[in-house]
Structure 1
């Protein structure tokens, strides 16, 4: 029986149809989640998003429990603002990565527990504009990231212009790979941009999920996890019930099938309100 739900945001809860399921979930999805939550089932949002970009969703739906943001680097009760756990990066590693990005004209955001920063000479009408709209928060602009902000960083976000540029960024930052946790991500609303999410080695969605479920005293076998990328599989795999969408890659669809009949579902696309099908399948009578 499902006692806890963990949801990725982009591609699961939020799509790319402005006014329909972006920047907020579809109204029917919000209503279903509210009904489930009122019946005592915690709903954890688990995302690589900057935490301030998750807070409006939490408040809109009314979710009063911990949430996981910044690719597992931050566990917060976003309704109250209380920080439960934070994984900061080593200062020298942060400086090394920032220096490489600036030298090679790689757009980079630096995230702390409260804000995200960009360097003044990197302001880009396309990237900065799209990111501000997506995060629903403007960056703090500084003259020098190296001099003005390299303490208490929980996430670095070098941004590649497209798939081809992604390879260039990988090569340039390869020497730092053993010092950090790295995963690539993308968002359909900001394509073709590609995001290299960099956090402390100890930070991960799966570690954050384990810690959060223990604090709620709910076992993973009683947890439903939903994601849409292979990067989500790390937190989906340990859970008893799993689901993904038609907009997910074929490899992830095959992975969820390994859970066996009655334990998995591949739902319609996020833009077809696939999450409603998942909630109905696993929680009949609760929505």
Structure 2
């Protein structure tokens, strides 16, 4: 498995939400916080993003802003424009018919929305992201991200058969490109630490792929070290330094993440879920799951499905 893709798949808690929004000057909006990870893509024009903390960001056509923790923030055509509170978060945003029908030239045309993510058991990879990720795509930067935006723009500007399925899929592609671009930038800037370094370290990245590909396998630290060509001690030390957890601790954490997803999204009995994540004993699985999530598998499944109904 590709680790980055696997992390996103495991954290998904629903279909991403988005709307194409047209803003005419002057405009100023203050968005409340959201449980999801918000985003803004500037399709046309320019303006400002005003985070709760930190300096305002000047936005231009082609810029992508990813709000990794769904924090409250403002959007405006100018820093002098007052911000009016918006009652809906980015997870609920809708196109504004009044502004969308305006005949004058818009100050900004944007794609705004949110990814619905399960923050109760967020992958540590996501914790390394800053609250606001700003990715300009002009001047030849992030060609893959720019290509994804072009496809998304085409679907939004002209609805065709398949658009309803295409847009959520392209939003998922966009999220992966956003994360890939940020990790690549960190690596190129020489700031590769933690998960950035882990994903670019051949041995540790190979070990992570092995864990993600075969979580049911009875891995030992020695097995993983041998798999990537390192001694047990050297592998354990390097893995723990970069990932922030010992190899088997991360393996258990990932198994429980998969188990939670299966309990939430499938009808597989707990015994089958236990087998898929490497437990021969349903009792041992239930004990490990409760230690991680604070409740046994059956209770977790009932609560997760009740919350989603």
Larger relative contact order (CA 8 Å, sep ≥ 6): 1
**Which of the pair has more CA radius of gyration?**
2
Structure with the higher strand share, 1 or 2: 1
TM-score by length of 2: 0.26
| TM-score, reference length from structure 1 | 0.28
Greater share of helix residues, 1 or 2? 2
